[in-house]
Amino acid sequence: MGMKEFIYKPPSDPLEIIFQDDHLLIVDKPSGLLSVPGKAIEHADCLETRLKSQFPDALSVHRLDMDTSGIMVFACNKVAQRHLGLQFEKRIIEKTYMARVDGVVANDSGEINLPLIGDWPNRPLQMVDHERGKPAMTQWRVLVREQNATRIELSPKTGRSHQLRVHMKAIGHTILGDAFYGTAVQVAAADRLQLHAQCLALRHPIGGAWHRFAASVPF
């Protein structure tokens, strides 16, 4: 798979803080910005680095793909970081994404159970592999059918790398603007990857009360 050379041009918009207290920082990550620093020196600019300039105690807990926008949680201390890390590990945290996919999805809802593994010759791409892949499950629900596209709500029940992108491609409805998994036409159909982390529900590290946060969909 010939992928064009990657040139990192992150957006410079000011950070949008959705919520903050002594333990949590909830941020809306823009598309095109890395969640955490890349290996190369020119990939040092990222959400975590920008956040630390305002909130020096911010600690990363999870990440979103560079091209995916939306809601991310950072911890403000080690106790909160451990607590949130366990919630991700035990799949307590609920994540809801919004996507626009290629084609008109026929059914109203469904579930995708397809195991995923790294596609080593084509890193960082992932692929479905029934023998060696790790279990991956996504629930989906159609919101709006357009002429040649569908707006869909995605709820990953596992947190595999590129899970939503590979699962949607596997059922014949690649996410529009997906430069990794889309055809030239699917990539050109949108000015960015049409995938947005819209909602995150979690238990507060202190006291355990449920909190639900949302970031409005930018497409």
Structure token pair of residue 188: 């050109």
Tokens found for residue 52: 């630390």
Instruction: Output the CA torsion 164→44→11→77 (10° steps).
Output: 70
Distance CA 155, CA 170 (A): 16
Q: What's the token pair of residue 157? A: 């029940």
- CB under 8 A, 24+ apart: contacts of 86-89: 87/202, 87/203, 88/61, 88/62, 88/159
Nearest to 185 by CA among 193, 177, 194, 196: 177
Residues that are catalytic: 65
